[in-house]
Amino acid sequence: MITVRFAPSPTGYLHIGGARTAIFNWLFARQQNGRFILRIEDTDRERSGTEMVQAIFEGLRWLGLDWDGDPVFQSQRLDIYRDYANRLLREGKAFRCFCSAEKIMRQREQAVRQKITFRYDGTCRNLSEEEIQQRLERNEPFTIRFRLPEGDVQFHDMLHGTITVEQEVLDDFIILRSDGTPTYHLAVVVDDYEMGITHVIRGDDHLSNTPKQVLLYEAFGWQVPQFLHVPLIHGPDRRRLSKRHGATSVQEYRDRGYLPEAIFNYLALLGWSPGTDEEIFTREELIERFSLDGLSKSSAIFDEQKLLWMNAQHLYRLSSAELFDRVVPFLAKAGLAGEAELQQRRDYVENILELLKPRAKRLTDFADQMHYFFYEPEAYDEKGMKKHWKGLETAERLDMLRSRLAGLENWTEAEIEAVVRDLAEELQISAAKLIHPTRLAISGRTATPGLFEVMALLGQDVVLQRMKKAVEIIKNSF
């Protein structure tokens, strides 16, 4: 069975790059009716935190990514890694290294000064059993290093083809630290083997790790999984995506009003192509269409404007009821109204959302756009006042329109429009000369959705009151 994994380190929130890796693995597993394993690589005790673990879970769930079985924590498997390290030790494929961390650091610093690649010099590679025993009796700390075999390392990458790494660039690398914790290379190989991982799909920043892992697979006599290293995501400046390009975590985009299905859709297409010009997909459609053959060898460029457009597309496709549930927390946070009040006025709010939806790009856009549906304008657009509230004639027209609207028995969009256009014709002016001043009067703005729809939603009493106030303001200005 096809089995893949997503294996983040809990040293930070779920990064956009990590989320894309998770999506590729998840889509492949679901498309192949395989398994998607979540593994938390938390052996770095100083940098790993429970809060970050929960943040990763939260980010994945928000994106709609589920995993098979319980999450696996490397910190709970330390004895297993030690057993495998000792197995290599017994078989002569690894050795104890008593070199101090300070000595190794000095050698690294010297290599940097000489502008050469640091390689362990093999000081402890061939210690006699007698000397090893004496050092153990003195309780000297030691690491366990893998004994590098002769010959170059070769492996196949599903995206990049056959890759050969010369032995000269490798050394006897550490697999178990002096405190008994495994290094990344040992832990990941043991876990991938025991979990039956068939395909390792990850960022190409791991390409340099792969030769060491292949050597460990061969030393244990295990089958090497299929590797596929995806080029990293870059910012518009063609440099690796980082905080200098703006938000980088999934949670940041969530808090800025992006939809999980839009983030999922966008990241799935960031480095993968369905083979057509289609861009808007549901998760189910992406599962059906996904194939590793569609992955690109080139780095994808993160374009937030494109993401914003895609978010607007997904937002527009939500029903009013779905949109209401998504947007209420943002409305409450912005102080528009409490969640209880919004729930009580659900029908009213849903109608507003349906009206505003075509103009919105993010969930955070609605609070500002909805303000005049809940509150009387405290101020009016200055440019709009200069352009549309010109003199007493405007006040007279608004007052006349207000009087006609007050007599309406059926407060509907069609009836309101008929009154406005009939009055414009009677006054021998364009309807715009009534529409623009009225829009400003009831919203304080020069741009809103269709005026007649807005007026119908606000209700007769509210509209008449706001028009009355505007007439007074105009009269007092001249």
CA 177 to chain centre: 34
User: Token pair of 2, please?
Assistant: 């096809």
CB 38 within 8 A of CB 60: yes
> Which are the contacts of 378, defined by CB distance < 8 A and separation ≥ 6?
444
Return the half-sphere exposure (C-beta side, CA atoms, 13 A cut-off) of residue 235. Answer: 11
Spatial strand order in the sheet of 72-73: 3-6, 35-40, 72-73
Residue with tokens 């970050």: 52
Residue with tokens 């770095």: 44
> Which are the contacts of 429, defined by CB distance < 8 A and separation ≥ 6?
397
CB 26 within 8 A of CB 6: yes
Catalytic residue among 93, 103, 212, 243: 243
Residue with tokens 């960022």: 203
Q: From the CA atom positions of the chain, what is the Rg in Å? A: 32
CB 439 within 8 A of CB 466: no
> Which are the contacts of 174, defined by CB distance < 8 A and separation ≥ 6?
97, 143, 144, 145, 146, 183
Active site residue 243: yes
Identify the CA nearest to 161 among candidates 207, 119, 94: 207
> Which are the contacts of 19, defined by CB distance < 8 A and separation ≥ 6?
59, 60, 63, 250, 263, 267
Q: Please list the active-site residues.
A: 243
